[in-house]
Structure 1
Amino acid sequence: MSQTDNRCRLVLVVPDIADIGERTKALGDALRGGDVASVIVPQYGLDDQTFQKHAEALVPLIQNAGAAALLAGDTRVAGRAKADGIHIQGNAAALTEAMEKFSPKLIVGGGNAADRHHALEVGEARPDYVFFGKVDGDIKPEAHPKNLALAEWWASMIEIPCIVMGGTDPESVLSVAETGAEFVALRLGVFGDAAQAASVVANVNALLDEKAPRFED
């Protein structure tokens, strides 16, 4: 078992950059920084055709770095771009439908679980993971306290892994790790200054190696 397998791991959320070359470079730099479990690629405001082009450039880059490529947007694009999975941003019904259609061929996870009741509804679909927060919800330096509380409750009683959206401060990963969550997502915390992306990913991994609690076997 490697050191990263028994502690909270990093998930990257690709930032909203319209230029495909800039976006690819920023992500490539970040992935060179160290361990990344998966990368979520949101559609943001792109039309389906442009999203497809972005996905075709980003998916191989993500996979070559040993991470899972998860697309959040038009699910048809995931199949065409040979992504590893889809991130559903809708409610429990949308997630259930996606599970029936795409699992187990693709990883299927998602969120919109704003409280315990909705989290349990999402859990009933038996997704591969539950996401607490929004993929663009990193508007403060720290992770949202509500998401931390949900993750702590979830991790203590439910086996489905969870990803928690961190804040704009990369050190927010520690408060997420302390909840028992398996994964912490960063977007602006890594890509806020794209030139620093690789060193931020390296620093985050070092911080998690040093201070994140270890999971029981």
Structure 2
Amino acid sequence: MQIYLIVPPKADEQTQQTCLELCQTGHVSALLIQRGEMAEYDYFDWAKTLIGPAQSNEVAVLLDNVPQAVRSLKADGVHITQSAKETGEWCKKLKPESIVGAGEIFSRHDAMTKGEKDVDYVFFGHLDPAKSGDDEETAEMANWWAETFEVPAVGFVHETDLLNKHVEFCAVRYQVFGTENPVAALQKIVDELNKK
């Protein structure tokens, strides 16, 4: 299982440094720069500080719901939480040069509707804490998807041990950024995942 690292929407030097240190561990495969409530121009400036350093460590960098900026910012792709129709339209525009992932999955129906749009992954879990549901329910959907479909699954739950070995990506955010030693916290998660 690979690590899908979510950078919290906090554009400061500490977050930037932590992000770089985590990318240098060799454990991070993909990096999503969460936008949160940032204005578009602030978000673009913030993304520019992370894209190059992450990519230099062979980490694929994804933007948060700004598909129109993928090429201009030289990111590797985008995470989209728009409708299935819009997601499909962006897949046609950006692929195969860029990665397009689908999020905002509330049900198996959502997963199948967006998963058939030629996306590169289906993301189970919610970036917005206000929408975060039950960990066990989210993990159950991610596990079901990974066992049933070829499109990779990203599981974003607080208790990472709920994800089974078939889930291709384990998403982490505050489990590492919210600790005193993010690198050690990431290593612990990786060690636990490798036991599966």
TM-score (norm 2): 0.92
Corresponding residue to 1:133 among 122, 125, 150: 125
Alignment pair present for 1:203 and 2:191: no
Segments of 5+ residues of structure 2 without an aligned counterpart are: none
SS at match of 2:189: helix
Q: Distance in 2 between the 1:189 and 1:143 partners? A: 17
Corresponding residue to 1:156 among 126, 147, 158: 147
Could you tell me whether the CA contact under 8 Å between 2:136 and 2:162 is conserved in 1?
A: no
Q: Deviations over 1:96-135 (max 9, x none)?
A: 1110111111000112221111111011102000001112
Write the mapping of 1:147-186 to structure 2, written as runs, cut at 5 A.
Answer: 147-167=138-158, 172-176=159-163, 178=164, 180-186=166-172
Alignment pair present for 1:191 and 2:191: no
Could you tell me which residue of structure 2 aligns to residue 5 of structure 1?
A: none
Alignment pair present for 1:45 and 2:40: no
Q: Distance in 1 between the 2:142 and 2:7 partners? A: 22
Structure 1 position 180, deviation (Å): 1.9
Could you tell me which residue of structure 2 aligns to residue 66 of structure 1?
A: 58
Letter in 2 for 1:161: P
SS at match of 2:181: helix
Could you tell me which residue of structure 1 aligns to residue 86 of structure 2?
A: 94
Could you tell me whether the CA contact under 8 Å between 1:72 and 1:86 is conserved in 2?
A: yes
Could you tell me whether the CA contact under 8 Å between 1:155 and 1:162 is conserved in 2?
A: yes
Corresponding residue to 2:49 among 54, 57, 73: 57
Letter in 1 for 2:160: V
Q: Distance in 2 between the 1:72 and 1:137 partners? A: 16
Letter in 2 for 1:186: V
The runs of 4+ residues in structure 1 deviating greater than 6 Å are none
Count of matched residue pairs: 196
Residues 40 and 58 of structure 1: is their aligned pair in 2 closer, same or farther, counting only changes over 3 Å? same
Could you tell me which residue of structure 1 aligns to residue 137 of structure 2?
A: 146
Q: Distance in 1 between the 2:130 and 2:191 partners? A: 21
Q: Distance in 2 between the 1:204 and 1:33 partners? A: 13
Q: Distance in 2 between the 1:132 and 1:179 partners? A: 15
Structure 1 position 46, deviation (Å): 1.2
Alignment pair present for 1:15 and 2:1: no
Q: Distance in 1 between the 2:185 and 2:154 partners? A: 19
Higher RCO, 1 vs 2 (CA within 8 Å, ≥6 residues apart): 1
Could you tell me whether the CA contact under 8 Å between 2:66 and 2:78 is conserved in 1?
A: no
Could you tell me whether the CA contact under 8 Å between 2:67 and 2:78 is conserved in 1?
A: yes
Q: Distance in 1 between the 2:80 and 2:156 partners? A: 15
Segments of 5+ residues of structure 1 without an aligned counterpart are: 1-7, 213-217
